Homo-oligomer: A and B are copies of this chain.
Amino acid sequence: MAVRVQTDDFDVGAETKVLTKGRTDIGAVVTFTGTVRGNTPDTPISSMTLEHYPGMTETELERVEAEAAARWPLAASLIIHRYGTLKPGDNIVLVITASAHRQAAFQAAEFLMDYLKSRAPFWKKETDDEGRGEWVDARESDDKAAARWQTPSKVIT
């Protein structure tokens, strides 16, 4: 169980090794890596800048991770999210889940991604190849993806 918010890149292989080293109770490890798309005819993006809300980001990611651990029998988990300016092909986010069985690992990883996409305070600004910056709009499909887990979100009302 760990959460890291950083500008540095991460190494999915190294992080997986650290998480599973010496463990024989793990049967399944799922990793999700989100990367910057761009520089293609469809998406002429030359860079992406991620802004976040220090303090709240860590709180929300820890909450999301604790929620996953409460719902599935996880042996280990990790969330790393980068911020700052990234280029096409660069890593953005890493989620790793480890469990005795594959269904728990898969579901927890999907949940973590859906949930952090709808709750973690990050905002992406894309800069195109002519230097024009534009904030990325939230996708309704991401809210729907989070809603399918039907969990009461922590919200002040």
Contacts and interface: CB of A to CB of B under 8 A. Distances in A.
State the main secondary structure of chain A at its contact with B.
Answer: mixed
A106 interface: yes
Contacts of A105: 32
Given A103-B145, A106-B109, A37 B26 contact: yes
A113 interface: yes
Given A22-B89, A37-B25, A39-B24, A102 B32 contact: yes
A17 B23 CA distance: 25
A90 to B, nearest CB: 9
Interface of A: 11-14, 16-17, 20, 22-40, 88-89, 100, 102-103, 105-106, 109-110, 113, 145
